[in-house]
Amino acid sequence: MQRSKLPRDKPTRHSLKTIFQFRGKPRGIIPFAGANKIVFVLIFLSYFNYGQMPETRRDSDFVIAFGSCNRQDHPQPFWEEIVKNNPDLFIWGGDNIYADTNDMSKMSQYYTLQQNNKGYEKLKNSTTVMATWDDHDYGKNDAGEEWEMKQESQQLFLDFIGIGKSDSRRQQEGIYTSRIFEIEKGTIKVIVLDTRYFRSPLIKNEVKGRRYNHNNDPKSTVLGETQWKWLENELENNFSDFIVIVSSIQFLSSEHGFETWGNFPHEVKRLKKLLVDKAVRNAIILSGDRHLSEFSTTKIKGLKYPLIDFTSSGLTHAYTSYNGESNKYRVGKVIAQPSFGLLKFDLDSYTVTMEMRGNNNIVLQKYSKQYPKN
């Protein structure tokens, strides 16, 4: 586990409100008459904001930018926009390139193409970069523990994110890691999970529109026992103000029938139980994979705060034919266009403002949450 100390100037305090904002027109609103109509509009606008202009002024104690699903041979319009937000950390959420090959020389060429992208070079030179992988940079669509090239692929992934040859991750199975960021007002711990290397085979569903069934075999796994034990240790006696857990696939949303932790219901229960048993403070999950962005949240008995799964996907392409899908945990709406995610931490008020941003840094949707201090 690494530690980073980051000096920060004194920030402007954020509002203590929990705010949810998104772009679009309100639906199902019955207008009131006379003065009541005016009162209703004023109240409504205090919680919703449409078509927000870009705001890149730095007024947070710590900023994380993240994104996923990035085709190395496509235009990549967001790197300079991300840099404008002055993030302390950028996190790759997986599918950092699209390789889908067992030819490691080709995969290496794809990584080199991405490394040489001028916008990405500017980002790398301006901030810290952490990363997980997903299936396409792992090497095969929807692959898990069965992928025969996973050891070779891991070494190329570590090359890509600049991990030294003597680093312990070169010898371990899987690319999971963690890092603590220390600033004047507190600490933020980032835990990066590997949901590929150990994941048990998926069970195919023959029903049209639903790719996979639940795997209820108690021996099946997402993380594998070695990684689970590591994660337990990472969460033991942890005193960071916030814990950011990076998962390439969605943790909460599971009704869509594609890849998700929900294909292994016992693994979902295990992580929830672990968060409660270890009394984990202020955990937030980041995910990608889906070519869409959304906020999902749930209350877990024993946690003092709601667990949020912030999905941001993708950086170069999106699920533009999206026409709706169920997600009982969703708050707000689905953003089915290319975007990246931001998390802005205010350690005075313990408020995290989460944003989905699109072209020209426009805020497509925003969700703020104030967390308990103890």
pLDDT digits 0-9 by tens, 104-138: 999 999 999 999 999 999 999 999 999 999 999 99
Please state whether 339 falls in left (phi above 0), alpha (psi between -120 and 50) or beta: beta
Kindly report the number of other CB atoms within 10 A of residue 343's CB atom: 25
**Of residues 162 and 17, which shows the higher confidence score?**
162
Amino acid at 27: R
Phi, then psi, of 107 in degrees rounded to 5: -60, -40
Band (52; pLDDT cuts 50, 70, 90): low
Tell me: the pLDDT tens digits for 58-71?
A: 689 999 999 999 99
Domain ranges of the chain: 2-370
Residue 27's pLDDT is 35
Residue 4's pLDDT is 77
Residue 49's pLDDT is 42
Residue 211's pLDDT is 86
Which segments within 175-329 are labelled E, that is strand? 177-183, 186-192, 203-204, 212-213, 242-246, 283-287, 293-298, 307-311
Pair of tokens at residue 85:
């937000």
Domain 2-370 class?
alpha beta
SS3 state at 316: coil
* d(C-alpha 292, C-alpha 283), whole Å: 22
Please state whether 345 falls in left (phi above 0), alpha (psi between -120 and 50) or beta: beta
Residue 64's pLDDT is 98
Percent of the chain with pLDDT over 90: 81
pLDDT of 142 above 50: yes
Distance of alpha carbon 314 from its chain centroid, rounded?
11
The reported pTM is 0.88
* d(C-alpha 119, C-alpha 183), whole Å: 27
pLDDT of 12 above 70: no
**What value does the mean pLDDT take over residues 140-169?**
98
* d(C-alpha 241, C-alpha 14), whole Å: 17
SS3 state at 235: helix
Buried b (16+ CB within 10 A) or exposed e, 182-218: ebeebbbbbbbbbbbbbbbebeeeeeeeebbeebeee
Q: Which residues contact 196 (CB under 8 A, 6 or more apart)?
A: 133, 134, 135, 138, 143, 144, 147, 150, 174, 248
Q: How far is the CA of 143 from the CAs of 73, 204, 218, in angstroms?
A: 22, 13, 20
β-bridge partners, 192: 177, 246
* d(C-alpha 5, C-alpha 331), whole Å: 34
pLDDT of 141 above 50: yes
Band (166; pLDDT cuts 50, 70, 90): very high
Percent of the chain with pLDDT over 70: 86
| Least trusted range by pLDDT, from 30-39, 147-156, 230-239 | 30-39
By C-alpha distance, which of 145, 291, 283 is closest to 226?
145
DSSP string, 65-129: EEE----TTS--TTHHHHHHT--SEEEE-S-SS----S-HHHHHHHHHHHHT-HHHHHHHTTSEE
Residue 149's pLDDT is 98
Q: What is the mean pLDDT of the chain?
A: 89
Amino acid at 68: S
Q: Are residues 70 and 76 in contact, defined by beta-carbon separation less than 8 angstroms?
A: yes
Place of tokens 């016992």: 266
Band (153; pLDDT cuts 50, 70, 90): very high
β-bridge partners, 5: 182
Tell me: the pLDDT tens digits for 335-358?
A: 999 999 999 999 999 999 999 999
